[in-house]
Amino acid sequence: MIKSGRKPRTESEQMIINNFRAIKEIENRLDKDLSIELILDIHQIMTVKTDASAYAGKIRNHPIYVKDHIDGEISFIDQY
């Protein structure tokens, strides 16, 4: 897909493309200091055309709950 230029067919394939693009962007910015802006830029690249794109390039300011997708049990809470 990366070599052939074929468009991604699934969100999983889109995430592969996004990760590839993020790696290339990081390589292009190796001379830059790590900053919040850089992290948010990379996050935005990594979430293009995914379910997470609504949160692209933003810092969360609310608790994050990680739930088991089968029984809904909360396995982790990040209080930020």
Helix (H) or strand (E) holding 32: none
DSSP for residue 14: H
Q: What is the pLDDT of residue 39?
A: 95
pTM: 0.75
Q: What is the pLDDT of residue 76?
A: 82
- Asked if 48 and 37 count as a contact pair (C-beta separation under 8 A), the reply is no
pLDDT tens sequence for the chain (80 residues): 999 999 999 999 999 999 999 999 999 999 999 999 999 999 999 999 999 999 898 888 888 888 888 998 888 888 76
